[in-house]
Chain A
Amino acid sequence: MSVAKPAAFGDATAIAALVASGDRTAAAVVDDHLARIAEHEGDVHAFNLVMADDARSAAAAVDEAIAAGETPGRLAGVPVAIKDNMCTRGVPTTCSSKILEGWEPPYTATVVDRLVAEGAIPVGKTNLDEFAMGSSTENSAFGATKNPYDLDKVPGGSSGGSAAAVAAGFAPASLGSDTGGSIRQPASLCGVVGVKPTYGAVSRYGLIAFGSSLDQIGPFTTTVGDAALLYEVIAGDDPLDSTASPQPALPVSSKLDAGVDGLRVGIITEMAGDVIEGISGDVLARLRAAADALAAAGAVVDEVSVPSTVYGLPAYYMVAPAEASSNLARFDGVRYGLRADGTNTAAMNMASRTAGFGPEVKRRIMLGTYALSAGYRDAFYGKAQQIRTKITEDFDSAYENFDVLLSPASPSTAFALGDKTADPLTMYLNDVCTIPSNLSGHPAMSVPFGVGDDGLPIGVQVLAPMLGEVVMFQVAAELERAGA
């Protein structure tokens, strides 16, 4: 059964225009969306928490400000859903983990502050794979999220709740985080636009870390234009994040209508069917169709090898768990969240972590601890960092001859719930096309481009050089026009 209805009440740009002009109140917009959530959330389970009261009062405040003659924000009255690993002051933030039981952050993530400052209205905290570790949103302590296009299928992950919320029309926009594909893969599976910006383009302050050197926040929307709008709101320097790029948000809306005439587009050979196995035929067919569409619009399309991307997956499963093992050490039962009984401090730490973390999180903490341990660090973590450098170099040399690269975002369309939970390795392979960009820090996004043999959405991934978001959005906009 499908409950998909992206942009059920108009896209973000349209809503903001209506609210700003006074043709529609933010209160009415929010009520519409809360009603839709009430109707279908039971089927989809996109949210860990629906913030109905908070959303209504925020909407009233936006309406009052506009009535008082204040300049409306760029997202005035736009409902947004926030992945539940981003801190919201006074609102439970769980990472879909029992370990954070009862914790309410005393501060708000920079990205959420920036959305709210432009008039956006958070309507809820969305479900995810626990601590963003997973590709199906089945690793949640609070139950799986369903794909709105087919409720028997996964929405992808780890930002499955945020992708599903947009696909189901619960909100025209949402925020996700992408450590190895956690925005782009669920965007592909849920038929929405999903962007992973350049590492550092968007502040991570308030994002509960998984792999700090890989994590990046980005938007889900139904249109490329909305994604550009959200990007311009959330991106830009933040004194609270030392790894943030010291510059304002890139003007990614500026070239959405510029077309692609003369742009050089490279299809990544390794992800086009022959080298990396397991990418399904219908996905590859949509990739070719996208390339053809760009060529028809005047782009110069060719294939290009980025050889070291084939080592992305193993390198990622050293680096990300290593950082996670350290980032998640603080969940020890001492200061916040779940505390289980123990006869002494060490026993209490162990009991709390045993009870609080799910199996995938434990698996990655152990993997990461091992990868960093004395005697193994050079062979595992050290080698992975070398591969990482190589992947970055390979991408950079590809970009000497190409403006953007093209690949699948996910190897397949949405798969059945429970299908891949038995074998972690099978699950990990979902991110084979997306991981290299996290390792290199380059931006990439998934744009819906038709459906597969099963009628479910397929996204195409557009990749760009460091801080190359303007041309990335430019190409994505062309794909959107061609696919429409």
Chain B
Amino acid sequence: MYTTVDRGPDVHEPSIPDEWELVVGLEVHVELSTNTKLFCGCANAFGAEPNTNVCPTCLGLPGSLPVMNGAAIESAMRLGRALNCTVSPSIMARKNYTYPDMPKDFQTSQYDQPTNHDGWLDTPEGVRINIERAHIEEDTGKSTHVGGDGRISSAQYSLIDYNRAGVPLLEIVSCPDIRTADEAKAYVSELRGIVLALGVSDAKMEEGSMRVDANVSVRPRGSDELRTRCEIKNINSISSVGRAIAHEANRHIDLYETGERPIQETRHWDEEAGRTRPGRSKENDEDYRYFPEPDLTPLVPTAAELEAIDASLPELPGAQRAALAEAAGIEPTEASLIVERGDAGFALDAIAAGGDGARVVVHLNNNLAGGVGKLTAELFAGLVNMETAGELSSTQTKEVLAEMVETGGTAADIAAAKGFEAMGTGELDGMLDELIANHPDEWARFAGDDEGESKKMAGFFTGQIMKATKGQADGKVVAQLLNSRK
């Protein structure tokens, strides 16, 4: 498709030399999943036949006028407050530029009086990224350029679907506070978690309902200057966020180190090639000629409305992680996956029902990735209790758990049906006697001073016992027996 002469696919995030530091700010567009579009009654739905969810207003027909969707404003303010923003009286503004998929040839957006401003987001690792603003705007239609290299400049013709035109967006603009590619990924992932917790968008990067543009520059570590930045577009997944930023930063570093400088421009992330390519040059920064949208009135939330917004906020991922960490006795970062999957409440319930916190977390992380199915928190706690009491080995526990998810049965019933009975230490002692008698050399190596050998042979004896018991022995109990005879 493209002629690439330099680097090939570059799957891993390149590392950044120590003497350089990244300066990254992110602009994240989130499509608000309202029933209708921002300024008209057309359905806001992904995947409909092209140009079926359209009307005079979202097609920008002459004489049509916008009417503000109150639900979109509410979602925008909820997200703003969840990002610790100040919500202020705001106005819509026209951002004037021409593009075929933008029906009015201006975008109704916000400029110097955005709805949300001056907030922040803390990543799970505890890095605070300040948020400059989170403003409301309308989406454009979607162009498909046919022929050429897929861009409008070389296309034979273009097809435009205006179904997306007028879909409400919230654009969340971070301050240039991000210093590593990992921080950028953590920021996007946390932001996505907050959006999902609020239910204001499905935030699917692959479907474009969440889109990330990265402003990237570098500087010598220790300096506080802001060097020329490039805006990277077309980043389609959270892992690409990291790769694109690291790649672009290294491109800048290479330029500086060979005595050149980057130019300010928009670049496109090429996922396949693993590199950024130049897009439209921003040297002649487009003049958007912003002015207040005369067809809409100012948005002035009342104190009561703002209170209701705050009261409507659910527990956000950061608070969920903290609560689970405390209950389970783990680090907040270890709770990330469970919170992300929306299972924090389930975990807390299982712990409250008496389940061991650490085992609850382990099972949710490792054995319940496909969902909890018919499992209830109480049943789950019962299983974990059998496990910690030594009535089930970890292998058995896993097997029982899988069936509980399917059937919703109790751990005791399923274990009994499978013939998983707690194996007494007496029985195991007998088996061990026999093993030692049959393998005297191995036993000597186990009991010897060579720690490596000893470990190896512990594995051998445990394995033999597991084989003999078909995995029903509790590994921990076997280890205790072995060590007591050493």
Contact = CB atoms under 8 A, between A and B. Distances in A.
Interface string B45-65: 000000000001001111111
A240 B67 contact: yes
A335 B291 CA distance: 25
Contacts of A107: 56, 61, 63-64
B96 A329 contact: yes
Count class of interface residues, chain A: 35 or more
Contact of B291 (A86, A322, A331): A322
Contacts of B100: 332, 334, 345
Q: In the complex, which of the residues B68, B100, B160, B296 has the most CB atoms of chain A within 10 Å of its own CB atom? A: B100
A326 B63 contact: no
Contact of B104 (A206, A207, A211, A329): A329
Q: Is the interface of B mostly helix, strand, loop or mixed?
A: loop
A211 B290 CA distance: 15
A325 B291 CA distance: 11
B105 A332 contact: yes
Given A372-B96, A373-B287, A208 B296 contact: no
9 cross-chain pairs, A with B, having the tightest CB-CB distances, nearest first: A329-B105, A372-B289, A213-B294, A212-B294, A208-B62, A87-B63, A206-B63, A208-B63, A374-B287
A242 B289 contact: no
Given A329-B104, A330-B105, A332-B98, A381 B291 contact: yes
A345 B287 contact: no
Contacts of A349: 98
Interface of A: 85-87, 93, 95, 100, 103, 105-107, 109, 204-209, 211-213, 239-243, 322-323, 325-326, 329-332, 334-336, 344-346, 349, 369, 372-374, 377, 381
Contacts of B96: 325-326, 329, 372
B269 to A, nearest CB: 24
Interface residues of B, number: 31
A372 B66 CA distance: 22
Contact of A329 (B63, B66, B106, B295): B106
Interface string B285-301: 00101110011110000
B152 A326 contact: no
B321 interface: no
Q: Is the interface of A mostly helix, strand, loop or mixed?
A: loop
B289 A369 contact: yes
B62 A330 contact: yes
A205 B64 contact: yes
Given A239-B67, A372-B289, A372-B290, 15 more contacts: A86-B63, A87-B63, A93-B63, A105-B62, A107-B63, A107-B64, A204-B65, A205-B63, A240-B65, A240-B67, A329-B105, A330-B103, A335-B59, A344-B152, A381-B291
Nearest to A346: B98
Given A213-B294, A243-B295, A329 B64 contact: no
Nearest to A204: B65
A225 B59 CA distance: 39
A105 B66 CA distance: 17
Contact of A242 (B67, B94, B104, B106): B67
Given A334-B100, A372-B289, A243 B297 contact: yes
B66 A377 contact: no
A140 B100 CA distance: 28
